[in-house]
Each structure stands twice: as C-alpha cells, then as structure tokens.
C-alpha cells in the first residue's frame, strides 16, 4: 500500500488550518481524479480491480485524517463521471464520444457497477474498522436535475420520459443503494440488442454479497442540485438496435418548453443553469418517497455561473445579483422542505441538514475551463490571482454569522437585501507558498 507523504502532509496542514478557524472539513474521496497509472494498468473503473485499490486509498485517508474529519463523501457525482467520461467522452478518460475509443453500449453500466462496489466497500470498511473510535459519518453525493414533462402532464409519453430521466440519471446509483439492484427501466433497456452486440447486452449482476454491502450504505445522502429540465420522450423504435446509453434512456432534456419558454430564469444567455428553486422542494420530496430515504440529506453543491468577461470592472464583476437571488431562493426552498422531519435513532431531525454553495471562488470548471465563473469570490486571473468578494459572498458571510435558532424563521433570507460593503471589501492576495513539514503522525505500513 503506497502512500505519498507530501500529499498527506499537505492535507494535514489544510485540515488543521480549517479546524483552527472553526471550519468543519467535509471531505470527498473521489471527484474524478483517478491516478493515470491505474487507467494504464487495468483501465480504471472498467475493471473490478479498482475496488481493492479504492478501499486501500480510503483506508489511508480514514487512518491519517479521521481523527479530525467526521464527514466523508466516497464519490462525487458518479453519474456525471460515467456519462461525461464514457458516453460523451468530454471528461477523462475520454471514452465513448465520436471518433474515440470506448463502447457506450456497455461501458457506462460496467463503470457504474464498479463505482457502486467501490463506494459500498469503502463505506463498510469505515463502519467495521473506524466508526467506533472516530465517530464519523460516510455518505455519497449524487447529482440530479428536477424533471417536468416537456408537453405537460397530459402527454403520457413525456410523463414516462420523466420516469426514465430519473432512473438513468439518479436511480442508476440510488436504486442499488436502496434495493441492491438496478432500476427496472435500466434492466429493460440496457440489455437490448445494440449495434455492436446484436444478440443482446450483458448488464453486470450484483451478487448477494454485493447487494448486502450496497443496501443503505450511507449515513447521509449528498445531493448536487443546480437546475430543472423538461424531459421529452425519445422514440427509437425506428431502429431495432440501441446505439448505447443515449438511446437506452429514452428521453431528451431541454431547458425550454415546446413554445420556447425557459423553465426558469437563466443565469446568462446560453447557460444550462436556470433558477428553479421551488423544484428543489418537489425533488427532495420525490427522492424521500421514491427511495424511502430515512437518513438526512446534505445539499453538497448548488450554485449559479457568470459568463467570464475580462472587460468588466471590479464593481461590475462583484455585482452578482442573479447568484445572490439564486442562493437566497434555494435556502428558502430548503426551509420549506424542512417542515418534513426525520425520526432517527438520535431523535427528530430536519430532512436537509447541510448546504454548500458551489463555489467559494471562481475556478477551472472542467470542460468549460475559465469561460464561466461560479465563485462567490472573484478571482483576477491576470493579476496574481487576487480575490475580491462579490455581493453574494458578503451576504452569505452575514447570513452564516447570524445566531442559529430553531424557530420557523431561522435566519434572514429574502429580507436581507443590504450587505456590508466595507467588511472584506479589499482584494485578498493569493495565498503564499508554505513549507511542507512531514508529520510523524500515525505512520502506517
């Protein structure tokens, strides 16, 4: 079991700094950054060999950091990793897209199968070897949109498309965590004949042991929610063979209805993010009921982008009214959701126990690069990465600083329109490099 001491020391310093500033670390183990050596050795998540390596990696993290980290996420957005990496080919490892290696007819399901087994094995490892001492919690983060029928609820085909959308985007991972098996629609469509598999395709089968490992293998459920879409039924009956995942799912997602109306206010012209905060209420109720969720939910990502424009002045760049409204409305939605209470072994709890904005600062946004900005803090990429708080950052700081109350109106949400423009209004220089000092803590062979 190899360990990178420099990496461990880096994260030790980061975690210690967070704790010193009364910030509770919430650590994700896998956000799509598989070591290339494993991709080259056995093709990464296309091989079941990945499970043992993932558990070994998780065990090192639990051992080295678990005395201070009490909240773990095993996988972030396994659907997005699977879809973009093995269907579209736009994210690493770049399989499945046009003129690329890969087999979108079978590989997405193999990858989903191995991801799920990685998660379950890591979760059980923590439960068996670490939980009694460290007292932490381990969850998984799934991403999904809210879906509405494209032509309305009177259109039976589009109502069915909504069902397919949830099954292939969310249920592909949530159903195995609930029942230990794939959604029925995945069984139905992912085994049909395809162009390269005319006799039918093999869908990985969970063994009885794997099913037992998977069921309820989370202490909390992370949900990444950004927007809603219309789901339109996609009829592939003209072809006797599936072209793969894209045709298996039998729906097309759109941000516009048949008349060209947006499903919600759009972040900017051409953006995929629409302001659909009320739909979060409906989505969480759907998840709780459809999958009989009895553990609390954390909104692990929620945010809105700006289109990058280097010509904007600082005053213009910090005036992120859409993001400010977006955050406020989603927090208000969560407050409405939390009229639903969970009866747990620890007593009565709200359904949603946490909320994270994506993101703290502008950053490199995957295939979008630096063309969009999701940050509450503006990063000047041309001026030594100086950072400036936008209005949303100042408001959010004030919101988080208010007293925690358990009355129906916990904090000032919609009513807080003025923010302190003096506090933290000056640019913040990029962090200076600091020396990495090896820690002789809990060295494990």
Task: Count CB-CB contacts under 10 A for residue 70.
Answer: 15
What is the Cα–Cα distance from 173 to 158, expressed in whole angstroms? 23
Tokens of 33: 């950054």
The owner of tokens 């859409």 is 322
- The number of CA neighbours under 13 Å toward the Cβ of 16 is 8
Angle at the Cα of 225 from the Cα atoms of 221 and 226, rounded to 5 degrees: 165
Tokens of 252: 């097309």
The owner of tokens 């309820």 is 216
**Alpha carbon 75 to chain centroid, angstroms:** 8
Tokens of 85: 């990496």
Where do the H-state alpha helices sit in 167-249?
Answer: 172-179, 184-189, 208-214, 245-248
User: CB–CB of 163/244 below 8 Å?
Assistant: no
What is the Cα–Cα distance from 303 to 318, expressed in whole angstroms? 16
What phi-psi label fits residue 89: left (phi over 0), alpha (psi between -120 and 50 degrees) or beta?
Answer: left
3-state helix, strand, coil in the chain (%, to 5): 40, 15, 45
What is the Cα–Cα distance from 241 to 253, expressed in whole angstroms? 22
Looking at the annotation, which residues are catalytic? 77, 301
Task: Count CB-CB contacts under 10 A for residue 308.
Answer: 16
What is the Cα–Cα distance from 6 to 278, expressed in whole angstroms? 45
User: CB–CB of 150/161 below 8 Å?
Assistant: yes
What is the Cα–Cα distance from 230 to 251, expressed in whole angstroms? 10
């Amino acid at each position: 079991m190899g360990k990178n001491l420099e990496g461990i020391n880096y994260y030790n310093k980061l975690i210690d700094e967070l704790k010193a500033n009364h910030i509770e670390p919430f650590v994700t183990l896998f956000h799509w950054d598989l070591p290339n050596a494993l991709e080259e050795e056995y093709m990464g998540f296309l091989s079941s060999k990945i499970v043992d390596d993932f558990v070994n990696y998780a065990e090192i993290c639990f051992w080295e950091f678990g005395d201070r980290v009490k909240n773990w996420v095993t996988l972030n957005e396994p659907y997005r990793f699977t879809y973009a990496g093995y269907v579209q080919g736009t994210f690493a490892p770049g399989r499945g897209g046009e003129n690329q290696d890969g087999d979108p007819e079978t590989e997405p399901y193999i990858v989903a199968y191995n991801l799920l087994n990685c998660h379950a094995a890591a979760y059980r490892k923590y439960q068996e070897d670490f939980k009694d001492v460290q007292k932490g919690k381990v969850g998984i983060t799934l991403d999904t949109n809210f879906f509405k029928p494209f032509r309305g609820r009177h259109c039976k085909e589009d109502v069915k498309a909504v069902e397919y959308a949830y099954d292939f985007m969310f249920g592909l991972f949530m159903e195995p965590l609930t029942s230990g098996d794939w959604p029925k629609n995945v069984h139905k469509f992912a085994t049909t004949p395809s162009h390269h598999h005319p006799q039918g395709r093999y869908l990985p089968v969970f063994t009885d042991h794997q099913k037992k490992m998977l069921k309820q293998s989370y202490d909390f459920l992370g949900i990444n929610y950004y927007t809603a879409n219309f789901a339109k039924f996609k009829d592939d009956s003209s072809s006797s063979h599936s072209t793969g995942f894209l045709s298996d799912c039998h729906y097309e997602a759109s941000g516009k209805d048949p008349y060209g109306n947006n499903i919600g206010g759009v972040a900017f012209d051409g953006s995929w993010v629409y302001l659909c905060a009320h739909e979060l209420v409906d989505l969480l109720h759907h998840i709780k009921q459809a999958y009989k969720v009895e553990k609390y939910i954390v909104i692990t990502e929620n945010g809105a982008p700006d289109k990058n424009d280097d010509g904007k002045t600082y005053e213009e760049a910090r005036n992120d009214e859409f993001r400010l409204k977006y955050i406020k409305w989603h927090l208000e939605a969560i407050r409405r959701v939390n009229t639903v209470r969970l009866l747990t072994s620890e007593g009565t709890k709200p359904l949603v126990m946490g909320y994270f904005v994506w993101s703290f600062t502008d950053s490199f946004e995957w295939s979008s690069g630096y063309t969009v900005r999701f940050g509450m803090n503006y990063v000047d990429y041309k001026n030594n990465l100086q950072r400036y708080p936008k209005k949303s950052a100042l408001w959010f700081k004030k919101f988080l600083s208010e007293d925690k109350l358990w009355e129906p109106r916990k904090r000032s949400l919609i009513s807080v329109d003025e923010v302190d423009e003096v506090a933290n209004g000056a640019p913040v220089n990029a962090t200076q490099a600091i020396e990495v000092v090896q820690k002789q803590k809990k060295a494990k062979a």
